[in-house]
Structure 1
Amino acid sequence: MGAHKVYRAIGLMSGTSLDGVIDVALIETDGHGYVKPLRYYAHPYDIAVRDKVRACFGKTVRDAQIDEVEQLVTDIHIDAVKALGETADIIGFHGQTITHKPDDGFTWQLGDGQALAKATGMDVVCDMRQADIKAGGQGAPLLPLYHQALFSEHDKPVAVLNLGGVANITYMAEDGALIAFDCGPANALMDDFIKSRTGDDFDKGGCTASRGVVLENVVKDFLADPYFTKAPPKSLDRDHWSIECVRYASTADGMATLLEMSVCGIEKAIERLPQKPARIYAAGGGRYNEFMLAMLAKHLDISVENIDVLGGNGDATEAEGFAYLAVRSLLGLPLTLPATTGAPRDITGGVACRA
């Protein structure tokens, strides 16, 4: 642990994949190289809330609907912390992203940090993306420094591929350098499409996609997007692409095509790295999509493994990361670097809310 003080921190994450749970993690950390995960809890929330949140995606102006949803989001997070039943020195509250347009200098995460602090009796750090965005960075991805702490003892080069609504990668080089950026869609399009066709929230194991035929012309058009020729660091909004491109496809063919799009976007990202990673660890909900992991390994010719094989819980990784970043914010340490978000300098972010 060294000479650094160790803190207990709770992290809260609700992603754009809207998978129906708030991820709640409790860790011990010094905000530097020491991290010890202690507990994880998945707090479910109602489908009606999910639909209300989804209706706010893309908004840039506060209105009565936003006020209602922000109150709902805050209340659910308060319930989640109380259900965990633990005390901590600090809570890292990511909030619910509804819009992320970094090229316009705009990102919006709903959630009232002060209300969370008051209700839980614990100090809160929230709005962890804003300072980076205001400095000219992408405001994402935010977890590379946490990945670096987690993988400090592992052989390099290695990469963590987070498969949430959007896919993002953290690459850790042999010399310790970090590169991080959003690759393209991961689950968002597939989840939206399967929901529209079958009512299911996701394609379990990639079963439907595995039965379909890829529409190569759709994938070709997708890969022509200027995003793929843009140099990192770079980040995406969940709704940068839509399911319109497979509107007339069968369910299986549409799913196969959307999965291929996700895989090809990640393949393009790997091509941008200075050296091919020896292995890739998949985190986020997409790591349960066995067909997707198999297709990634085939396309990339790299071992792609579920991050759980390392002994942790991949469901907890993002929430743990925001707990870790909350401690770094408390200590005045950087949350983002030029190599991870494109900000002009190391940026210390987060807004402190006292209980």
Structure 2
Amino acid sequence: MSDPDGLYVGLISGTSADAIDAALVDIRAGHCRLLADHTAPMDDTLHDAVLALCRPGDNEIERMAALDMHLGTAFADAALAVIARAGLTPRDITAIGSHGQTIRHLPALHTTVQIGNADVIAQRTGITTISDFRRRDMVLGGQGAPLVPRFHQTALACAGRRRAVLNLGGIANLTLLDGDTLISGFDTGPANVLMDYWCRKHTGARYDADGHWARGGTALPALLARFLEEPYFALPIPKSTGRERFNGAWLEARLDGDESPQAVQATLLALTAQTVADCLRDFAPDDLLACGGGASNSALLEALAGLLPGVNVDTTSAHGAPADMVEASAFAWLAWAHLAGVEGNAPQVTGALSGAILGARHPA
């Protein structure tokens, strides 16, 4: 299209699979302004169905097909809700960018699977939908992740500042910016995925609100050392990971069994903070700006600040990008980039042989 500028909706359900985030974004020449947002929580039944599909099991194809349709409807409803919240109609929207729900991410096999049927979204909303953003990068030899660094560069780069943007979803990923230049980006390891698992197992809550439960425990140095022996942490970049590696079985295999559950939670929080800090030693940022669900965990941000003296640790919200909507906004931007013919990936991040226009278009 000749002029892709307009209003876009970005949709994502992250590794934690706790909700669908929808962001309505006004995009002009690649610059974004968030107009409205909506979060549609997943109930326990849907949440558990997603997590079960993330693990090998029986009847995966049939279960995936059913969940693909169910999530497509849920994503479409989230898009319609955020449009209505802004007082607009679907006719006002140029396109939807839908990341979907990841159920497999296997960069060693050059494959990744996201579900949440984009044809359902396009049909139900009447809005052209762009989806399947990761696989073109993987065909080019890339990791297919992370894909948000180009958006981070657009929204959060600052001349004269070395900035690290930290997305704290189920998995943590970093974007490294030197002024306006995108240096690198990669997954550091678990952010909330292990803490969420352990919290639900022992408290029934799906996550540890504000890190309150972890605050009441004391991290166990020997256990943290065992966690840090995980080979992923020593891998060179580019690298990306997910639930395929970091899951309940990974955690349980490293426990003696007599640890206090609260101490384990504190140690998992320390693991997230330590692995992020270790990845920033050489970069030496001026700012570390957090987004994603973990940005609301003050215990985690305090742990990061303690490990990174001299670094301004803050959230992206203080810099014009609401922390809980950064990823959804990024996929709105990636839909704009698809229609504008702008490369959405960054080879210095994913390791792809070249930049590429990402996504597949599903007309209304």
Question: Which TM-score bucket, shorter chain as reference?
Answer: over 0.9
Which residue pairs with 1:15 in the alignment?
14
- After alignment, is 56-65 or 326-335 more displaced? 56-65
Shift of 1:218: 2.1
1:171 and 1:345 map into 2 onto residues whose CA distance is 19
Correspondence for 2:287 among 279, 284, 306: 279
Unaligned runs of 5+ in 1: none
For the Cα contact (< 8 Å) 1:144–1:178, is it kept in 2? no
Correspondence for 2:343 among 330, 334, 349: 334
For the Cα contact (< 8 Å) 1:22–1:45, is it kept in 2? yes
Correspondence for 2:42 among 29, 45, 55: 45
Which residue pairs with 1:309 in the alignment?
318
1:31 and 1:184 map into 2 onto residues whose CA distance is 33
For the Cα contact (< 8 Å) 1:283–1:306, is it kept in 2? yes
For the Cα contact (< 8 Å) 1:214–1:256, is it kept in 2? yes
SS of 1:255's partner is: helix
Correspondence for 2:270 among 253, 260, 268: 260
- Whether 1:292 and 2:300 are equivalent positions in the alignment is yes
Query: Aligned AA for 2:44?
Result: I
For the Cα contact (< 8 Å) 1:279–1:303, is it kept in 2? yes
1:327 and 1:66 map into 2 onto residues whose CA distance is 28
2:326 and 2:271 map into 1 onto residues whose CA distance is 25
- After alignment, is 295-304 or 206-215 more displaced? 206-215
Pair 1:175–1:148, CA change in 2 (3 A): closer
Which residue pairs with 1:77 in the alignment?
75
For the Cα contact (< 8 Å) 2:158–2:179, is it kept in 1? no
Pair 1:236–1:205, CA change in 2 (3 A): same
1:265 and 1:214 map into 2 onto residues whose CA distance is 15
Give the length in aligned residue pairs.
349
Shift of 1:4: 6.7
2:336 and 2:60 map into 1 onto residues whose CA distance is 30
Shift of 1:37: 1.3
- Whether 1:114 and 2:119 are equivalent positions in the alignment is yes
For the Cα contact (< 8 Å) 1:212–1:255, is it kept in 2? yes
Which residue pairs with 1:345 in the alignment?
354
For the Cα contact (< 8 Å) 1:183–1:268, is it kept in 2? no
TM-score (norm 2): 0.91
Correspondence for 2:329 among 320, 324, 327: 320
- Whether 1:186 and 2:191 are equivalent positions in the alignment is yes
SS of 1:320's partner is: helix
For the Cα contact (< 8 Å) 1:205–1:288, is it kept in 2? yes
Query: Aligned AA for 1:7?
Result: G
For the Cα contact (< 8 Å) 2:4–2:336, is it kept in 1? no
Shift of 1:300: 1.6
Query: Aligned AA for 1:165?
Result: G
Shift of 1:249: 2.0
Correspondence for 1:211 among 210, 216, 237: 216
Correspondence for 2:175 among 167, 170, 173: 170
1:221-240 equivalent positions in 2, closer than 5 A: 221-240=226-245
Which residue pairs with 2:55 in the alignment?
58
2:183 and 2:29 map into 1 onto residues whose CA distance is 17
For the Cα contact (< 8 Å) 1:164–1:286, is it kept in 2? yes
After superposition, the C-alpha distances for 1:100-124 in whole angstroms (9 at most, x for unaligned) are 1112212110121112111110000
For the Cα contact (< 8 Å) 1:26–1:40, is it kept in 2? yes
For the Cα contact (< 8 Å) 2:20–2:42, is it kept in 1? yes
CA RMSD of aligned residues (A): 1.8
SS of 2:324's partner is: coil
Shift of 1:62: 5.1
